[in-house]
A and B are shown apart, each in its own frame.
Chain A
Amino acid sequence: MASTNSSTKSKSSARALKSPHLAQPLSPTSSNYRLQQELRSFLLSPPPDLKVSVGRNLRIWHVKLTGRNVYEGEVFTLRIKYSNTYPRDPPSVYFVGDNIPEHEHVYSNGDICLSLLGSGWSPNLTGQGIAVSIQSILNSAGRKCRPIDNSGSVGRKPGESQKDWIYHDDNC
């Protein structure tokens, strides 16, 4: 039992380390150093139902999120973009793809109303932490519905700075 466990672990870590972004350890002075660390930890021990993939740009992540409860069986994609001022400023995070979850804090353009992405951001939060928070607000939802002011988001570009946002609900 124990041996299988360790073997799967080493297998996944081996796969994770295949990622071209982790091939070469960056020096701590590099501006991508923290992101590489974050990505390594995400790939090595991904939280349940979350899977990260990174293209050529280390600063843009796509996280596949498998829904539970009211979203059972649905898969959503989160796009996380880290600006040059990250981690001083929060990353820009929104849902992409055809399937935008129907949730009272998720606008139909993909924007997510979450204080952690605006006034509640702290520099010691991580991309993975944000993804887990979003997963938890989805899975704790009792019903599917759009935000009351959703109509305002139609045609709005998602992922803009949430500096001036007012958050309706402090529980999320």
Chain B
Amino acid sequence: MSDSEDDYVYDYSDASSDEGDEMKTSPQQAKSPQEGDSDDEDRKPAAKKSMDIRGEVGVKTPSSKNANANPNAPPAHGSGRKSYDHSPTGSDYLSPAKNPDGLKLMEAEQVREEMHSLVCEITDMLGISEAVATVLMRMHKWNKEALLNAYMNDSNATLSKAGVLSKVQGEGGGATSGSGTGNTCNICCDDDFASDEMYAMSCGHSFCRDCWRGFLHSKVGDGPSCIYATCPAAGCPEVITEVEVSDVSKDVLPKFSTYQLRSYVNLNKLARWCPGAGCTKVASSKTGFGNIKCDCGNEFCIRCGLEPHSPVTCPDLAKWEEKCQNESETANWILANTKKCPKCFTRIEKNQGCNHMVCQQCKFEFCWICLAAWNEHGASTGGYYKCNKFASEGDNPNDQSDAAKAKRELDRYLHYYQRFHAHGQAQKFAKKQLAQTEQRMVQLQDGNSDTSWIDVQFLKTATEQLIECRRVLKYTYTFAYYLEDKDGIKERFEHHQEMLEKFTERLSELSEMDLEKMDRTDVVNMTRVVDKFVKNILKYVDEGMDID
């Protein structure tokens, strides 16, 4: 264990600031067409494939220093990937190369440029307008290969399916030709329009500009689905694009383009809007995996948008969240209000009365506090309302009846849920603590005249470490719940978990201590130790838990 510990001293916060730098120093990266290429190739993140692709990316984008630094990931890491191929498992904590997933943060404007450069490739290749190319790409989920395949196969079918057939083949829209006056609009029924008051898309259905404006306002007002709106004529499949919006109703164009950009990111499996409130940044990764810390302070998993959750995989976490949503209220109530009968293990609710319990199932008489037989109780143990004996619990694992199995499963879930929940609460608490830490740092500095601001930074580092530990610990319980036990991997995993838990509690204690009693060296050391334990447990999972 100690050997590998030193290999992976890698500070997560470093990585995120690096990304920030990268973003500033090479903004052309966002636009580079090569990158568009590679994005397209691994758009479907079949993760085994993503291993190979990483090599390719390194070749294709020389600007990406990380992929370049290590084009061939070492075998250990690779095997970890294979056994956890659908997992974003702690790669950014553990990978030898600093940023193997090619994580980066982009401003909405950069994403717009990236989208535009993709569209431009298509316009050049197929000789169609940008608006049409945008619609086509959107229909093929921004997968250039899929679009080109479909287009080469049957261009007309592809165009008509996307609702742009007449835009490509028609004579073009705009102000309709025809007699100068006396045109009828089928929406307002007025029949005295000059031809320049009328407007039609290339499908030829012309309406007066006022009605067009009203129509577009109403569609954009309906929300993000407006980008799929079609011609106002009933049954006409012609799709409305930015061209029509800007021709007829410029005032809703910004909103329309924003919806278009939003759909671009939402359809893209390799990118995600930062889920932080009011944040407009986009995080992207070359593999579709990885955790990223946004400039707004929000940390999230690119694949599912939730808080980083290594070692649990995204699908397992989704299952767990659903389970907890369905059962957590019940679970809370069961834990808070019931105990198991010490003899038959039926869960019993005590809603009133003294500690002398009689189980309705087996008629066993016992004490509610210590769960021991009631006949051992009396005035010497504290009487009916008190008990000074110790609690003990047991279970019979050999009972194979359905009820017993169901109960064991419930108990198993409760076991993990209880701990998951406890660490979640502790994480919340530590976050609150972080808010107060700055104040404590000032106090600490004031208390000692020759202490500098840098000297008291350790307190913040410790609290941040504590939050991370709580988060990882929380998810280790989800992971363990879904972990199948074979060859004793569960035991080894639990050993790692136990160590991490033990030292996290220690760190928690140290960092919350009164400032006068606090020993800086202790805190700094404990922070380091705990950091190593976190990396160890994630590395252990990432490397396939010693199976290979």
Q: Which A residues are within 8 Å of any B CB, using their own CB?
A: 28, 33-34, 37-38, 85, 87-89, 116, 120, 122-125, 129
Contact A37 B189 (CB under 8 A): yes
Q: Which residues of B contact A38 (CB under 8 A)?
A: 189
- Does B277 count as interface, using CB distance less than 8 angstroms? no
Contact B189 A123 (CB under 8 A): no
Q: Which residues of A contact B233 (CB under 8 A)?
A: 122, 124
21 CB contacts below 8 A, A to B, read: A28-B189, A28-B191, A28-B192, A33-B188, A34-B188, A85-B218, A116-B234, A122-B233, A122-B235, A122-B236, A123-B187, A123-B207, A123-B215, A123-B232, A124-B186, A124-B205, A124-B232, A124-B233, A124-B234, A125-B234, A129-B234
Q: Report the nearest A residue to B225, measured CB to CB.
A: A119
Contact B218 A88 (CB under 8 A): yes
Q: Which B residues are within 8 Å of any A CB, using their own CB?
A: 186-192, 205, 207, 211, 214-215, 218, 232-236
Which of A33, A34, A37, A122: most chain B Cβ within 10 A?
A: A122
Q: Which residues of B contact A123 (CB under 8 A)?
A: 186-187, 207, 211, 215, 232
Instruction: Give the secondary structure class of B's interface.
Output: loop
Q: Which residues of A contact B236 (CB under 8 A)?
A: 122
Smallest CB separation, B162 vs chain A (Å): 19
Contact B215 A34 (CB under 8 A): no
Q: Which of A37, A85, A88, A122 contacts B234 (CB 8 A)?
A: A122
- Distance of A129 Cα from B186 Cα, bound (Å): 13
Q: Which residues of B contact A122 (CB under 8 A)?
A: 232-236
Q: Report the nearest B residue to A119, measured CB to CB.
A: B225
> Known contacts being A124-B233, A124-B234, is A33 close to B190, with CB within 8 Å?
yes
Q: Which residues of A contact B205 (CB under 8 A)?
A: 124
Instruction: Give the secondary structure class of A's interface.
Output: loop
- Distance of A120 Cα from B236 Cα, bound (Å): 11
Q: Which residues of A contact B191 (CB under 8 A)?
A: 28
Q: Report the nearest B residue to A27, measured CB to CB.
A: B190
Q: Which of A33, A88, A125 contacts B214 (CB 8 A)?
A: A88
Q: Which residues of B contact A37 (CB under 8 A)?
A: 189
Q: Which residues of A contact B235 (CB under 8 A)?
A: 122
Q: Report the nearest B residue to A120, measured CB to CB.
A: B234
Contact A88 B190 (CB under 8 A): no
Q: Which of A34, A89, A125 contacts B218 (CB 8 A)?
A: A89
Q: Which residues of A contact B190 (CB under 8 A)?
A: 28, 33-34
Smallest CB separation, A50 vs chain B (Å): 19
- Distance of A122 Cα from B232 Cα, bound (Å): 5
Contact B215 A88 (CB under 8 A): yes
- Distance of A71 Cα from B316 Cα, bound (Å): 56
Q: Which of A33, A85, A89, A116 contacts B189 (CB 8 A)?
A: A33
11 further contact pairs, Cβ within 8 A, besides A85-B218, A88-B218: A33-B188, A34-B188, A37-B189, A122-B233, A122-B234, A122-B235, A123-B215, A124-B186, A124-B232, A124-B234, A125-B234
Q: Which residues of A contact B232 (CB under 8 A)?
A: 122-124
Contact B207 A124 (CB under 8 A): yes
Q: Report the nearest A residue to B235, measured CB to CB.
A: A122
Q: Report the nearest B residue to A85, measured CB to CB.
A: B218
Smallest CB separation, A88 vs chain B (Å): 5
Q: Which residues of B contact A125 (CB under 8 A)?
A: 234
6 shortest A-B CB distances, which residue pairs?
A: A122-B234, A34-B189, A28-B190, A124-B186, A37-B189, A123-B187
Smallest CB separation, A137 vs chain B (Å): 16
- Distance of A85 Cα from B190 Cα, bound (Å): 17
- Distance of A124 Cα from B412 Cα, bound (Å): 62
Smallest CB separation, B212 vs chain A (Å): 10
- Distance of A27 Cα from B235 Cα, bound (Å): 30
